[in-house]
């Protein structure tokens, strides 16, 4: 039977826009329909107001946040093993370890890890214990002794505990016995009545009668009156003496807390040093409730299952979810320039020069002959409206426009009205901080050694764009510092006028944009007529200026 295919995350870029979110949802749905396997949409950042409006409009929950795709303990090959209770005997624990072919076993009380015991600990219990009182010190239960010695209870309470005295062998006559056997001892005896009677007279706690020898009924009655436990075993005296320490509860020899444990959510890179420095064979793993889940060992680092990821609407490392270098990228669906994502092996990479990833996703539905539901159609159509500014962006192609009109029909929406509602929601300042406004559609780029960010807000309302400008201008210098950027460009795009005002921040930012678009550097405002697309109009021209 093959290994079950794991979960695959379908995720867009860090500052998700409507295309990034809606394409992830739609593509995860398509992959589930085609394969029947677990594909799940995720988001790599906060959803903006425009996208929030779209999701609410079509009754779809926002994808859960995928903070990073770094390798975690839960991605490792965790060795699941059933533990033993603290009062289980050393002998039974050893038997369980042999059956499971393990060197370490957890000691659990109500699923909580209270200790671990290894083969080394058990060897110590045999080789280094000379104390005849250890059974009492370990509070050994009589039923453990009975089971270890393959015995039967003749009289007494097998649920009781041997808590006082020492273990002795009555191999001499009664006179000598009285010299070394004391009240509350456990006495190992044979078939001699005199020795048995002497042990009862001394008031021993327990008599272990070897080789199934008989105990006279009168002596049994006397033992009952004194609450003495009598155990009969088929083994000889030597075997009993050799086996009896194996009845000690495992908790007496286990390694106790605080133990070096890891949580399922811990990151592999964070635990490597600990595992290298601590020379344990196995490390216990706990879930978020503190319950034991299994062991990992150093060699199991070789069996880490990388998180499987499909990237939509981006292919640049700086825009991808954190830890992408540790993930297994299996597909990329995008419509941007080629970036710098590296993959371990070949991947399915579909990149088309269209205005929106959603256009490509719809083509893939058609190719796979999978029916598009009104909900999915509404999401994909909204993504195209957003990315093409309702076909006004120069990135828009005939394919985008044709696709949007098809999808609008399936979804039962009117394109112009939908666009107005979306852009109104997206540019609204209501309840937003300056940081939220800045990062609702913000991407980072690197050219040579220059790291810069470009944000964009689209609106059909000129007054609203002016309000946004007044909020952003004093805030951008803080963003520059906190995000270690050298320059920031913010695009305030007037959809109706098909123009963009650029706010510049950072040393040289204004000069570069002036050079790129051949503008006077001392102009009070930088207005780019006919420029509405960050991807196709602003970035290529700006990058050209930066590279000169």
**DSSP letter string, 125-173:** HHHS---TTHHHHTTEEHHHHHHHTT-EEEES-TTSEE-SS-EEE--S-
Q: Identify the pLDDT of residue 532.
A: 92
How far CA 64 is from CA of 10, 29, 314, in Å, comes to 11, 15, 19
Please say if the pLDDT value at position 127 is more than 80: no
Q: Identify the pLDDT of residue 303.
A: 60
Q: At 368, list the tokens.
A: 């796979």
C-alpha count within 13 angstroms, C-beta hemisphere, residue 185: 21
**In 10 A of CB 510, how many CB atoms?**
20
Q: Identify the pLDDT of residue 378.
A: 98
Q: Average of pLDDT values for 82-100?
A: 92
Q: At 351, list the tokens.
A: 């990149």
pLDDT in tens, 93-116: 999 999 988 889 999 998 889 999
Q: Identify the pLDDT of residue 341.
A: 83
pLDDT in tens, 467-505: 999 999 999 999 999 999 999 999 999 988 999 999 999
Q: Average of pLDDT values for 144-163?
A: 96
CB 82 within 8 A of CB 266: no
Strands (E) in 314-365, as ranges, are 328-334, 348-351
Q: Identify the pLDDT of residue 91.
A: 92
Q: Identify the pLDDT of residue 370.
A: 97
Q: How far apart are CA 18 and CA 404, in angstroms?
A: 14
**283-286 β-sheet, strand order:** 262-263, 283-286, 292-296
Any residues with CB less than 8 A from the CB of 249 and at least 6 apart, and which?
Answer: 86, 87, 88, 89, 90, 138, 139, 140, 141, 144
Using alpha carbons, select from 119, 77, 125, 124 the residue that is nearest to residue 100.
119
pLDDT in tens, 290-349: 889 988 887 766 567 789 999 999 998 888 999 998 899 999 999 988 888 878 788 999
Q: How far apart are CA 394 and CA 468, in angstroms?
A: 24
Q: How far apart are CA 247 and CA 422, in angstroms?
A: 74
Which percentage of the chain shows pLDDT scores above 90? 66
**In 10 A of CB 462, how many CB atoms?**
12
| Matching residue, tokens 């109500």 | 110
pLDDT in tens, 220-248: 999 999 999 999 999 999 999 999 999 99
- Using DSSP's 3-state secondary structure scheme, residue 450 falls into strand
Q: How far apart are CA 66 and CA 255, in angstroms?
A: 38
- The enclosing H or E element of 293 equals strand 292-296
Q: Identify the pLDDT of residue 128.
A: 62
Q: How far apart are CA 489 and CA 540, in angstroms?
A: 14
**In 10 A of CB 2, how many CB atoms?**
4
Please say if the pLDDT value at position 4 is more than 50: no
Give just the sign of the alpha carbon dihedral 399, 400, 402, 403: positive
Q: Identify the pLDDT of residue 3.
A: 42
Q: Average of pLDDT values for 187-204?
A: 93
Phi-psi region of 396 (alpha: psi -120 to 50; beta: other; left: phi over 0): beta
Q: Identify the pLDDT of residue 304.
A: 72
- Using DSSP's 3-state secondary structure scheme, residue 302 falls into helix
Give just the sign of the alpha carbon dihedral 69, 73, 74, 78: positive
Q: Average of pLDDT values for 265-288?
A: 84
| Matching residue, tokens 């780019």 | 528
Give just the sign of the alpha carbon dihedral 307, 347, 62, 443: positive
Q: Identify the pLDDT of residue 272.
A: 81
Q: Identify the pLDDT of residue 282.
A: 83
Any residues with CB less than 8 A from the CB of 280 and at least 6 apart, and which?
Answer: 260
Q: How many residues comprise the chain?
A: 548
Q: At 163, list the tokens.
A: 């808590």
Domains and CATH numbers, the chain: 8-71+307-425 (3.90.1640.10), 90-252 (3.40.1390.20), 434-547 (3.10.310.20)
Q: How far apart are CA 429 and CA 461, in angstroms?
A: 12
**442-447 β-sheet, strand order:** 442-447, 450-459, 487-494, 499-505, 526-529
Q: Average of pLDDT values for 444-472?
A: 92
CB 32 within 8 A of CB 1: no
pTM of the model: 0.66
Q: Average of pLDDT values for 34-63?
A: 95
Burial class (CB in 10 A: 0-12, 13-18, 19+), 175: exposed
Q: Identify the pLDDT of residue 123.
A: 85
Q: How far apart are CA 130 and CA 294, in angstroms?
A: 34
Q: At 199, list the tokens.
A: 């042990």
Q: Average of pLDDT values for 73-101?
A: 90
More confident call, 211 vs 129? 211
- Using DSSP's 3-state secondary structure scheme, residue 188 falls into strand
The confidence band for 33, taking pLDDT boundaries of 50, 70 and 90, is: very high
Strand partners, 105: 117
Q: Identify the pLDDT of residue 1.
A: 35
pLDDT in tens, 366-415: 999 999 999 999 999 999 999 999 999 888 999 999 999 999 999 999 99
The mean predicted confidence, pLDDT, of the chain is 91
């Amino acid at each position: 039977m093959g290994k079950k295919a794991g979960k695959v995350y379908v995720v867009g870029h860090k500052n998700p826009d409507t295309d990034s979110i809606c394409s992830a949802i739609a593509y995860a749905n398509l992959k589930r329909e085609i394969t029947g396997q677990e594909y799940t949409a995720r988001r790599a950042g906060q959803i903006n107001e425009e996208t929030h409006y779209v999701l609410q409009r079509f009754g779809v929950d926002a994808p859960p946040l995928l903070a990073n795709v770094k390798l975690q303990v839960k991605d490792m090959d965790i060795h699941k093993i059933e533990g033993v209770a603290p009062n289980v005997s050393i002998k039974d624990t050893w038997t369980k370890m042999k059956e499971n072919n393990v060197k370490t076993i957890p000691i659990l009380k109500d699923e909580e890890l209270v200790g671990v015991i290894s083969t080394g600990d058990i060897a110590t219990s045999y080789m280094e214990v000379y104390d005849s009182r250890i059974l009492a010190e370990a509070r050994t239960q009589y039923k453990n002794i009975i089971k270890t010695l393959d015995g039967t209870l003749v009289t007494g309470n097998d649920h009781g505990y041997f808590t006082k005295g020492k273990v002795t062998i009555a191999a001499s006559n009664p006179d000598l016995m009285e010299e070394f056997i004391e009240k509350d001892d456990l006495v190992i005896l044979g078939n001699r009545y005199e020795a048995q009677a002497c042990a009862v007279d001394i008031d021993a706690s327990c008599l272990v009668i070897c080789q199934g020898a008989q105990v006279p009924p009168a002596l049994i009655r006397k033992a009952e009156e004194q609450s003495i436990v009598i155990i009969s075993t088929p083994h000889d005296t030597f075997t009993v003496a050799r086996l009896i320490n194996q009845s000690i509860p495992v908790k007496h020899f286990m390694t106790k807390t605080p133990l070096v444990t890891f949580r399922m959510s811990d990151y592999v890179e964070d635990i490597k040093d600990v595992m290298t420095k601590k020379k344990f064979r196995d490390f216990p793993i706990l879930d978020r409730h503190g319950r034991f889940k299994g062991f990992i060992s150093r060699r199991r680092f070789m069996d880490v299952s990388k998180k499987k990821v499909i990237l939509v609407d981006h292919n640049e490392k700086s825009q991808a979810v954190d830890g992408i270098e540790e993930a297994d990228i299996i597909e990329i669906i995008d419509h941007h320039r080629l970036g710098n994502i590296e993959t371990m092996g070949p991947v399915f990479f579909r990149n088309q020069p269209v205005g929106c990833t959603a256009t490509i996703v719809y083509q893939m539905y058609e190719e796979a002959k999978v029916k598009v539901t009104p909900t999915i159609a509404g999401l994909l159509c909204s993504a195209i409206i957003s990315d093409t500014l309702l076909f006004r962006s120069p990135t828009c192609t005939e394919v985008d426009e044709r696709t949007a009109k098809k999808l609008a029909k399936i979804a039962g929406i009117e394109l112009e009205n939908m666009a107005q509602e979306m852009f109104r929601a997206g540019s609204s300042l209501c309840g937003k901080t300056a940081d939220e406004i800045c990062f609702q559609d913000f991407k980072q780029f690197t050219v040579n050694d220059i790291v810069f960010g470009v944000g964009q807000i689209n609106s059909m309302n000129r007054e609203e764009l002016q309000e946004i400008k007044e909020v952003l201008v004093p805030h951008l210098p803080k963003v520059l510092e906190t995000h270690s950027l050298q320059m920031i460009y913010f695009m305030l795009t007037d959809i109706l006028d098909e123009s963009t005002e650029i706010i510049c921040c950072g040393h040289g930012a204004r000069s570069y944009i002036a050079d790129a678009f051949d503008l006077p550097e001392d102009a009070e405002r930088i207005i780019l007529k006919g420029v509405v697309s960050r991807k196709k109009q602003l970035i290529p021209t700006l990058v050209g200026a930066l590279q000169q």
